Structure 1
């Protein structure tokens, strides 16, 4: 694969459980090409979300290497990882993780301000318009529906214009209609910013829109292949 934006080699992750160490990931080797959309699928407990967290540098691998945009994340400390994510990654979780005391606009703009972006509020406003929340920018999370909160989370992830967009079950907490709307917006954000998208999903229709799907089972890659459905 020429010039992978993300490369994992011999990745292992063990976490401490009540009865001792539990192996979550067991020797994952995987590359993601620039501009690719990769779906991670598999049963609950297969290691999908843990793999995404390791890709993001939010969970530290027990062994192996993670390289993103040519940088070895496994050698970085927490501050270095935070700076790297801030400039290069957008992350969307199943839970929205919005700050309840901030408006939708502030939730998107404040991380940009902290990163030193001069036009933080203008950019945040543009992203919220793009996800259909032009009339809801001044509302607090408690005043927004679940679908609207996930739209804010999408806008926040896309606002830094990251090279890598990582999504963990982005439609998992939403009903069918809102899930379909978020799925459409996620791919529109990818296209608008030219980002590489890696997403964890149980939704066949979402996996079907990916360029490639990797199936996990028991912390290992159980299979992969091209699975691009007609959009």
Structure 2
């Protein structure tokens, strides 16, 4: 599937990507030759039925799943050429990820959770930057609270702060409002798009919500492990 906008090298360049996994029933072909380019600064919504490969595609972009074959070039790196340590360093510098499940560390405060990626990168000002990011998402009064002391919406705001704190070039969001009520989910998505605009990050968003996908500049539908451009 050709890109619609690529004046320079795309930030995400996938060509003929396949991914097969072994199961008790035999080999399962999850991705079946995905071609997808995403330009720097673009917003792309990925839609499709459950089990179609949407989340797996996102994980391939993040280097959390290795493609069985094909070209996976993201944010200047050929992910197939990186070992696990190099992938982790690359991901820490280039990618922010927001999941449906918040994946906060229960024994850490909000401030500590947001500071983690910066500490791993050796940033001396990790906690100052984490505090500033939490204030940016309206949680300056919750710095010392643990995840169990926060509402679902507050936990997702902490997850947003953690995803944005290192100023990644690529933000990947996998059903980020799936565990939230409608009103809270809408507020979180408004915040996600606002942060994207402020930081000029590239956003790839997996969602079941057509209205949410329509907020993106482009929509891609995944069905049976294949990707199709959605036209108006």
Report TM bin, short chain. Answer: over 0.9
User: Shift of the alpha carbon at 1:68?
Assistant: 1.0
Give the alignment of 1:183-202 within 5 angstroms: 183-202=189-208
Structure 2 residue aligned with 1:130:
136
Give the alignment of 1:138-153 within 5 angstroms: 138-153=144-159
Structure 2 residue aligned with 1:66:
72
Which residue of the other structure, out of 115, 125, 140, is the alignment partner of 1:109? 115
User: Shift of the alpha carbon at 1:33?
Assistant: 0.4
User: Shift of the alpha carbon at 1:224?
Assistant: 2.5
Structure 2 residue aligned with 1:181:
187
Which residue of the other structure, out of 49, 52, 61, is the alignment partner of 1:55? 61
Secondary structure at the counterpart of residue 221 of structure 2:
strand
Which residue of the other structure, out of 84, 91, 95, is the alignment partner of 1:78? 84
Secondary structure at the counterpart of residue 28 of structure 2:
strand
Q: In structure 1, how many angstroms separate the alpha carbons of the residues matched to 2:229 and 2:95?
A: 26
Q: Please, what TM-score do these two structures have when normalized by structure 1? A: 0.95
Q: How many pairs does the alignment contain?
A: 226
Structure 1 residue aligned with 2:211:
205
Q: In structure 2, how many angstroms separate the alpha carbons of the residues matched to 1:193 and 1:118?
A: 22
Give the alignment of 1:16-27 within 5 angstroms: 16-27=22-33
RMSD of aligned residue pairs (Cα, Å): 1.0
Q: In structure 2, how many angstroms separate the alpha carbons of the residues matched to 1:222 and 1:44?
A: 16
User: Shift of the alpha carbon at 1:221?
Assistant: 1.3
Structure 2 residue aligned with 1:222:
228
Q: In structure 1, how many angstroms separate the alpha carbons of the residues matched to 2:74 and 2:230?
A: 21
Q: In structure 2, how many angstroms separate the alpha carbons of the residues matched to 1:37 and 1:86?
A: 21
User: Shift of the alpha carbon at 1:223?
Assistant: 3.4
5+ residue gaps, structure 2, are 1-5
Query: What are the Cα deviations for residues 175-229 of structure 1, in whole angstroms up to 9, with x where unaligned?
Result: 001100110111111111110000100112210110000001000013333x6xx
Query: What are the Cα deviations for residues 133-181 of structure 1, in whole angstroms up to 9, with x where unaligned?
Result: 1111110000011111110000000000000000000011110011001
Structure 1 residue aligned with 2:3:
none
- Answer yes or no: is 1:13 the counterpart of 2:15: no
5+ residue gaps, structure 1, are none
Q: Which runs of 4+ in 1 moved over 4 A?
A: none
Secondary structure at the counterpart of residue 4 of structure 1:
coil
Which residue of the other structure, out of 46, 54, 67, is the alignment partner of 2:52? 46
Structure 2 residue aligned with 1:155:
161
